Structure 1
Amino acid sequence: MKILIISSTFPFGNNEVFLENEIKYLRQRKDINYEILPSKKDIQIISNRKKYKYNNFLIKKKNKSKFSKFLNFIFSMKYTKCRKEIIRVLSNNPKAILYSAYSVSSFSFYVDIFKNYFKESRDLDKLVIYTYWNTEITYALQFLKPIYNYSIISRIHGFDMYKEVRPFKYMPLKKYFLKNIDYLFPISKKGGDYIKMTYGFNPSVIKCFYLGVNDINYISKPNNNNIFHIVSCSKLRKIKRVDKIINLLNSVSKIRGDINFHWTHIGDGPLLTKYESISKKTLKGVNFNFLGYLDNDDVYSFYKKNNIDLFINTSKSEGVPVSIMEAMSFGIPIVAPDVGGVSEAVNDNKNGYLLPKRFNDQQLINAVIKILDSKKINYIKNESRLMFEKKFNSESNYKSFYNFLKSNILES
């Protein structure tokens, strides 16, 4: 099998860390020839990713000037779907017109870029193109598929799925690109239901395959001496609502003065400096630490070296967070809101507590105190580990995924 994986920035920078487990698995498969095609460059490539096979073609062709983007918008008007999209947004959501214009411009750009790419390619009928995000790149490849006769599959996660979390609650173009795709892989069952109902995809092309994380077969031990160590892991952006964890710790440390609370956050982002400053001012009785970005190996090393009592996610939107999978692999209880596919990982009152989608501060406090005072903490930890083993082990998940591709695309 020859497979071309189109990422956003991977292997550059520190985004898409969840793709790394999949690439590590692929490198073990002698029957699959893969190449990564990042669409943009974040920062320099991380040293331990230099071993992965990647191609800079899209990065070299990337549009940079505003004038070039404007020209792409003008050229996009030759496509019926782009004209329809502009008319639709002007009629229904005029505030989103610039957002829409950027989308159709990107679509037009990638159509032209891939036409040039395919001129230099051979045996396209044996090629599987795998877009890791269901965006304008995927739409361009769907548009060109009848001409070049390759196979195309796409993952779909959260921001590329839920229009409610997009600017102006508007998802450009997707409704016009429901065909010319072999399979669309939501990373949660709830996501699959959503795209069928919202966009009208044919159910026969939708197959849910969970992402997965590695298993190092280690269970985190509980802390002693009245220490309670909480971990969170995410990009520090507004949508992740990490400020709610700061509010939680400020309150619960006063309610439970008998407990020495520790909090570690893994992940960087534009709000890092702000959250560090707020924490210094408000969390007087809490031992806290912002570790910044850690790669997969360092995250696992952290979990192995430290006793962790609870993992908290407070995000407004998710697919099924890999950070939750990682914590569950160590048998750590989870508290998280019922957004996206989180309920497929967190079984309320079993491996943790599932908060309402629009939870308030008191509901988060109550969930943490339940874990803190639980007399069945070993049961909760065991359930967390079992959930990982059942659904989110990378070895079994990616084996099933790529065997499915071989059976249903190459051998069909």
Structure 2
Amino acid sequence: MKHSIFILASIFPYGKSEPYLEEELNYISRIKNSRIVLFSLSPRKGDVKKKMPSNVEINPIFFKGYFFYFLHSLTLLFDTKFYKEFFKLLKSKKLTFRKFIKLTTYLSRANYEYKRIKKLLKKKYHLPKESTVVFYSYRLEYQAYILYSLRSDYPNCKFIARAHRYDLYEEFSKAHYLPFQEDIITSLDDVITISKDGFKYLKDKYPFADNISLRYLGTKDYLLNKDWKKNPKKIKIISCSNITPIKRVELIAQSLYKISENIEIEWVHYGDGENNSKVKLETEIENLPSNIKVYLPGYIDSSALMEIYKNQDFDIFVNVSTSEGIPVSIMEATSFGIPIIATDVGGTSEIVKDGYNGFLLESDFSTGKLSELIIMFYKMNECEYLQFRNNSREIWEEFFSAEKNYLDFCIYLQNLI
């Protein structure tokens, strides 16, 4: 008899959303005697679908358009949960127009997709009320609210969700508001944080909750060899993120501008983003001297990036974000033994050990400080530099290997089934 795992994910496997779920799903799909069903929430009809393992069934619930969800929000007039949350905001004096809009769009979308999923579970999968399957939401936001709604329909099932960053830290979410977070957490069997920082955040916020756990994400091992060398004449920097206000990529350019020494520097940034942030970045790059070469190839998928890591040598990886869970981009870099310079936000300090495999910057760091660290790596003797590289790889092997972490996660899922 096959055991079923129902997964809820935003947009994935369509478009560019949730790129790191793909590797996790490759492992989940190998669980013996299992049926994996994926509900893809709100993909656009023009999005390209990624190739999935053959035993993963995809059920897209396509995005219906903002006007549709606006009309559907009229059903909230008869939704007691809406009034409960609305008056909770009102009583706590936290109600703002932005939060009201987020609450209505959140619930309208969640309720619509809940009804679609419930219908599929009954008519396509013939799932009886007494079923004991696993429901897994990849995010702790409105996708997990759908699990909260399904709980009363399937009381014997297991309901779990991962918590990353914007779906976890209220202060970094849109409108600084995560509707129903306490209700969702209380309803789940397990809330799986991806960092110690996230774990502590939830435990401090909800000390009564005994269903919060920690399980790191991981990346695949593409390293061909450890034949690392230091180029004494040039330093090559890589960064990889969306170009948005939170990621502050322009600060890397400003830091490079402050390097007065005439050393050869090459900086490659992978990632695309918002027009205003891109214009700001390009303006900063135009001011750089001729000894600093900058390349902005744009968006790149993970498999293509791994090929670049395999075939090119980078001396340091830089991340200057104001907010993170644990950056998978840093996991990928450490798997290739690349030293890291990163802001000490979220769970970054769990993968970057200051002075061991890289250096941590304060969130409000000065660009001069980043300049100093880049020069430090450039001037570092080869023996010391190679130790940083070995340390980076060692941290990845111990804590962030996909093989290790996702096989462990699969055992966990098997025990739930």
Q: Distance in 1 between matches of 2:25 and 2:369?
A: 39
Deviation at 1:109, TM superposition (A): 2.3
Counterpart position of 1:341 = 347
Counterpart position of 2:174 = 167
1:4–1:37: 8 Å Cα contact kept in structure 2? Answer: yes
Q: Distance in 1 between matches of 2:328 and 2:218?
A: 7
Of the structure 1 ranges 25-34 and 386-395, higher mean CA displacement relative to structure 2 is found in 25-34
Q: TM-score, normalising length from structure 2? A: 0.89
Alpha carbons of structure 1 residues 216 and 137: separation in structure 2 relative to 1, 3 Å: closer
Counterpart position of 1:351 = 357
Of the structure 1 ranges 166-175 and 127-136, higher mean CA displacement relative to structure 2 is found in 166-175
The answer to whether 1:186 aligns with 2:193 is yes
Alpha carbons of structure 1 residues 163 and 373: separation in structure 2 relative to 1, 3 Å: same
Counterpart position of 1:309 = 315
**One-letter identity of the residue aligned with 1:63:** K
Q: Distance in 2 between matches of 1:51 and 1:280?
A: 45
Of the structure 1 ranges 127-136 and 368-377, higher mean CA displacement relative to structure 2 is found in 368-377
Deviation at 1:143, TM superposition (A): 2.3
2:137–2:147: 8 Å Cα contact kept in structure 1? Answer: no
Counterpart position of 1:122 = 126
Counterpart position of 1:277 = 282
Tell me the percent identity: 30
Q: Distance in 1 between matches of 2:284 and 2:367?
A: 17
Deviation at 1:244, TM superposition (A): 0.8
Counterpart position of 2:162 = 155
Of the structure 1 ranges 177-186 and 100-109, higher mean CA displacement relative to structure 2 is found in 100-109
Counterpart position of 1:371 = 377
Deviation at 1:380, TM superposition (A): 0.8
Alpha carbons of structure 1 residues 27 and 56: separation in structure 2 relative to 1, 3 Å: closer
Counterpart position of 1:72 = 72
Q: Distance in 2 between matches of 1:230 and 1:89?
A: 46
Counterpart position of 1:403 = 411
Alpha carbons of structure 1 residues 10 and 220: separation in structure 2 relative to 1, 3 Å: farther
Deviations 1:127-174 (A, max 9, x none): 211111111221122122122233211111000011111233222221
SS of 2:307's equivalent in the other structure is helix
Count of residue pairs brought into register by the alignment: 402
2:254–2:284: 8 Å Cα contact kept in structure 1? Answer: no
Q: Distance in 2 between matches of 1:381 and 1:143?
A: 47
Q: Distance in 2 between matches of 1:243 and 1:22?
A: 32
Deviation at 1:200, TM superposition (A): 4.8
**One-letter identity of the residue aligned with 1:327:** A
Q: Distance in 2 between matches of 1:220 and 1:318?
A: 31
Counterpart position of 1:384 = 392
Alpha carbons of structure 1 residues 110 and 181: separation in structure 2 relative to 1, 3 Å: same
Q: Residue 329 of structure 2: which of 323, 328, 343 is its match?
A: 323
Deviation at 1:123, TM superposition (A): 4.0
Counterpart position of 1:9 = 11
Of the structure 1 ranges 357-366 and 206-215, higher mean CA displacement relative to structure 2 is found in 357-366
Deviations 1:304-337 (A, max 9, x none): 1111100001111111111000000110000111
Deviation at 1:110, TM superposition (A): 3.1
Across the aligned residues of Structure 1 and Structure 2, the Cα RMSD in angstroms comes to: 2.2
Q: Distance in 1 between matches of 2:300 and 2:33?
A: 31
The answer to whether 1:265 aligns with 2:269 is yes
1:220–1:303: 8 Å Cα contact kept in structure 2? Answer: no
SS of 2:136's equivalent in the other structure is strand
Deviation at 1:250, TM superposition (A): 1.6
Deviation at 1:381, TM superposition (A): 0.7
The answer to whether 1:227 aligns with 2:234 is yes
Alpha carbons of structure 1 residues 166 and 276: separation in structure 2 relative to 1, 3 Å: closer
Q: Distance in 2 between matches of 1:261 and 1:65?
A: 46
Of the structure 1 ranges 164-173 and 24-33, higher mean CA displacement relative to structure 2 is found in 24-33
2:253–2:281: 8 Å Cα contact kept in structure 1? Answer: no
Q: Residue 256 of structure 1: which of 255, 261, 272 is its match?
A: 261
**One-letter identity of the residue aligned with 2:27:** Y
Alpha carbons of structure 1 residues 287 and 54: separation in structure 2 relative to 1, 3 Å: farther
Which runs of no fewer than 5 residues in structure 1 stay unpaired? none
2:121–2:127: 8 Å Cα contact kept in structure 1? Answer: no
Moved >4 Å (runs of 4+): 46-52
Counterpart position of 1:113 = 116
Of the structure 1 ranges 179-188 and 155-164, higher mean CA displacement relative to structure 2 is found in 179-188
Counterpart position of 1:56 = 59
Q: TM-score, normalising length from structure 1? A: 0.90
Deviation at 1:52, TM superposition (A): 7.5
Alpha carbons of structure 1 residues 14 and 317: separation in structure 2 relative to 1, 3 Å: same
1:346–1:353: 8 Å Cα contact kept in structure 2? Answer: yes
Q: Distance in 1 between matches of 2:141 and 2:338?
A: 34
Q: Distance in 1 between matches of 2:313 and 2:270?
A: 15
SS of 2:61's equivalent in the other structure is helix
1:89–1:100: 8 Å Cα contact kept in structure 2? Answer: no
Q: Distance in 2 between matches of 1:16 and 1:148?
A: 27
Of the structure 1 ranges 271-280 and 226-235, higher mean CA displacement relative to structure 2 is found in 271-280
Counterpart position of 1:217 = 223
1:221–1:308: 8 Å Cα contact kept in structure 2? Answer: no
SS of 1:240's equivalent in the other structure is coil
Deviation at 1:49, TM superposition (A): 4.9
